[in-house]
Amino acid sequence: MTIICLEGASAVGKTSTSNELTRMRNTYIVPEVNLLFERPTFATNTWYLERQVERWKIAREKQKDYELVILDGDIFQPLSYNWCFDFKIYEQSLDAIYEFYQAEIRKGKIMFPDRYFYLYTSINNLKKRKENDKTRKRRNFETHIDIIEPHQRYYEALNQLELQFVQLIEAENIECNARVIEDNLPSSKAYRDSERLIDSIKNWLMKTKP
């Protein structure tokens, strides 16, 4: 069955849209790392990357019982997120992240999903939604606001590297988001060369400034 990923800025409505899709069809949601796992006090430098591999494992296992599996947040997020900060705020270089993922792909432990859906809206809308949502603290929200433009540009570039791989959706409301996704789910599981794609992403990141 199909595995998709929902991405976009904090407060854009990824989780709410995922929940709406569960009301429309037999769907399982794989939450983001910080909601799914408790970070240890002394985490290794690859702890977060390893948890992304575990999220993919969960998604693959749930394929057996659900017609749609949603990754709430990208399992390859360390590539886009660290690039947005020019690889200067974390102790992980592009080479280190790439080499980790490349090795896991070659071992068959992680792959790219069948399709990405990228939700976007204005900064004012994001701030209003954040203020109105009392269920989550949304740590580092202002920091995330600062990288909206390069973050979206990364997924636009990903859609050029792999045609019709990413669909951008202007997130007007949750019901509309879910309907657009429902209408544009892949009709069949397409073969995707994850090893070639991770190489293409690395090359793009190396030559492109955030």
Q: Please report, for the domain that includes residue 147, its CATH number.
A: 3.40.50.300
Show the CA angle centred on residue 177, arms to residues 176 and 178, nearest 5°.
Answer: 90
Q: Which helix (H) or strand (E) holds 83?
A: helix 77-84
**pLDDT tens profile 80-120:** 999 999 998 777 899 999 999 999 999 999 999 999 999 99
Pairing of strands 2-8, 27-30: unpaired
Q: How many domains does the chain have?
A: 1
Q: Which helix (H) or strand (E) holds 90?
A: none
**How many whole angstroms from its chain centre is CA 55?**
11
The pLDDT of residue 146 = 84
Mark the ranges of the chain whose per-residue pLDDT is less than 70: 133-139, 141, 188-190
The pLDDT of residue 189 = 66
What tokens were used for 176?
Answer: 């509309």
The pLDDT of residue 91 = 77
Domain coverage including residue 150: 2-207
